[in-house]
A = this chain, B = another copy of it.
Amino acid sequence: MAMRRLKLVGWGYEDDEISDAERQMVTSRMHERFGGEFDVRKAPGADAVELHAPRLAVPVELSAYATDARQDRLLHTYGKSYPDYARQFLGDYRNAPDIVAYVRDEADIAAVYDHAAKVNAAVIPFGGGTSVCGGVEPVVGGAFNGAISLDLTRLDRIVEVDKTSRAARIQGGIRVPAMEDQLKSHGLTLRHFPQSMELATLGGMIATRSGGHFATLYTHIDDLVESLRTVTPSGVIESRRLPGSGAGPSPDRMMIGSEGALGIITEAWVRLQARPAFRAGTAVLFDDVYKAAEAVRVISQAWLFPANVRLLDAREASNNGFGDGRQSVVVLAFENADHPVDAWMDRALAITRDFGGSFDRDVAKSGSGHRAGAAEAWRNAFIRMPYYKKTIVEMGIITDTFETAITWERFPAFYRAIIAATEEACLKATGQKGSVSCRFTHSYPDGPAPYFSFQAKGRHGALAEQWLEIKSRALDAVIAHGGTVTHHHAVGRDHMPWYNRQRPDLFGSALQGAKDRLDPKGILNPGVLLPARN
């Protein structure tokens, strides 16, 4: 496992390419969606890429775990966002870090901080490297002499498991599959599965307020954190392990979502679940997307807490291979480790019926049959989606997503406005009609978290610019209509202009005041959440 090499361009490991059938499926979908010819290009391989000489030398005190080797620097230049791919296709690695430090423990992290302060380098924490918003790219402004990418994946141990309280102390650099494998032997699971789960690390998920498996209740990882241990340039912050507390503002809530700008999360006690023993799931069809949204609202307000209650609008459903392109779908599922969930499912289905939903009750009971199969197919496609991106970029297609949240009373107008703005932006940027769709990833009593996907046929060489034009107009609309710039993808560098418009200025000032105490030289992930020093 440890020897598996990550792809330079594309999702996952080098030994896990998409199958010919998958490539065929993706290609034909794009042909269906966009007419005409496609200018198919390949990304240059690592050997064909130009890379500047490192501006920093690896000092002897870091030499046991740090390197300036070409492949390591290339692999730590980008996350997995669309503009990351677009620039990889151009062979543009100008922002590569100068050193990659594969720290083994907290002492190594402190040593990297010390060295960075000494040579005036920025330090970029790098977990799974799955950021889709420029969170790990060393764009740090001109005030630094170089950048060190601090890779955390060697901090990969489960330190302690408490089966009684269902919690475990786990190192921040462990990837989700390794974590879940080990927890499984205790009959436990974190059961927090973002789309990036194959590569994502626990610390990275906490630092970015990741959104996981559960569509209601325990949506963000925030609520699964019992306590944190964080290493900052000023020292260690370790919070007490507590099921709940009212002793002042939560220390953990300042680190959760700090995106590597305040410190590095080296350990967390996280709240676990027993593995589910009872499940029920089905798909409910609606002719009217707003009626479907109403059903999701009422289910979300009924304290039923389904594991899944995801609305796919007609286009989104069709793009994911089910529905007829006119009907919206609500994927509905309950699960529990303790008891059968029929009473819960019965009530939720009754609510969908009140809003005109149609479903097959037998499917919901047994968890099998064609609609459950469709839901299952969607889930598989969801996990495989990141693998398809490279093929899509090869075809010169611009493809991206953005996710937000809005209260229910504003949802209908919001949905219409964001779809319209994004469609118009695709047309303006590419001269051709794009495809824009929406699903709910999570749902709360007071509002949904709508997740928008768009595709447009772009032009090789200009893909990053065309993407930026579309994304900017879309996010302008999100902010203007009251949404958040991100529900669970984080801020990174890409979302900063909109984050700044959304965040109360004075809270930004307070956050800077806190950072000045924890990171007095401003070396940690400069430009993320707070402006890089000049």
Cβ contacts under 8 Å, A246 to chain B: 208-211, 220, 257, 484, 486-490
Cβ contacts under 8 Å, A423 to chain B: none
Cβ-based interface call for A529 (8 A): yes
CB distance from A170 to the nearest CB of B (A): 14
| A301 adjacent to B338 (CB under 8 Å) | yes
Cβ contacts under 8 Å, A258 to chain B: 248-249
Cβ contacts under 8 Å, A239 to chain B: 504, 507
| B447 adjacent to A243 (CB under 8 Å) | yes
Cβ-based interface call for A253 (8 A): yes
Question: How many angstroms between the C-alpha atoms of A449 and B247 in the bound complex?
Answer: 13
Known contacts A271-B445, A447-B165, A513-B516; A486 and B247 CB within 8 A of each other: yes
| B516 adjacent to A484 (CB under 8 Å) | no
Cβ contact of A513, chosen from B236, B407, B517, cutoff 8 A: B517
Known contacts A301-B274, A406-B243; A446 and B512 CB within 8 A of each other: no
Cβ contacts under 8 Å, A513 to chain B: 510, 513-517
Cβ-based interface call for A482 (8 A): yes
Nearest residue (CB) in B for A350 is: B339
Cβ contacts under 8 Å, A249 to chain B: 253-258, 511
CB distance from A529 to the nearest CB of B (A): 5
Cβ contact of A240, chosen from B208, B248, B442, B484, cutoff 8 A: B484
Interface residues of A in 229-260 (CB under 8 A from B): 232, 234-251, 253-259
Select the stretch in A53-61, A465-473, A495-503 that faces chain B: A495-503
Cβ contacts under 8 Å, A235 to chain B: 506
| A247 adjacent to B495 (CB under 8 Å) | yes
Nearest residue (CB) in B for A484 is: B245
Instruction: Produce 1/0 per residue, A268-310, CB < 8 A to B.
Output: 0001001000000000000000000000011001111100000
Cβ contact of A407, chosen from B220, B242, B256, cutoff 8 A: B242
Cβ contacts under 8 Å, A101 to chain B: none
Cβ contacts under 8 Å, A241 to chain B: 407, 482
Cβ-based interface call for A152 (8 A): no
CB distance from A222 to the nearest CB of B (A): 8
Instruction: Produce 1/0 per residue, A430-455, CB < 8 A to B.
Output: 00000000000010111111000000
Nearest residue (CB) in B for A251 is: B507
CB distance from A525 to the nearest CB of B (A): 12
Cβ contacts under 8 Å, A274 to chain B: 301
Cβ-based interface call for A509 (8 A): yes
Cβ-based interface call for A326 (8 A): no
| B247 adjacent to A502 (CB under 8 Å) | yes
Most chain B beta-carbon contacts within 10 A, residue among A166, A298, A337: A166
| A248 adjacent to B506 (CB under 8 Å) | no
Cβ-based interface call for A491 (8 A): yes
Interface residues of A in 469-486 (CB under 8 A from B): 482-486
Nearest residue (CB) in B for A234 is: B506
Interface residues of A in 170-205 (CB under 8 A from B): none
Cβ contacts under 8 Å, A31 to chain B: none
Nearest residue (CB) in B for A516 is: B513
| B511 adjacent to A405 (CB under 8 Å) | no
| B518 adjacent to A510 (CB under 8 Å) | yes
Question: How many angstroms between the C-alpha atoms of A514 and B508 in the bound complex?
Answer: 10
Question: How many angstroms between the C-alpha atoms of A54 and B408 in the bound complex?
Answer: 51
Instruction: Produce 1/0 per residue, A402-430, CB < 8 A to B.
Output: 00011111000000000000000000000
13 interchain pairs, CB-CB under 8 A: A162-B409, A165-B447, A226-B407, A240-B482, A242-B406, A243-B407, A243-B449, A246-B484, A247-B499, A250-B257, A254-B510, A338-B347, A514-B514
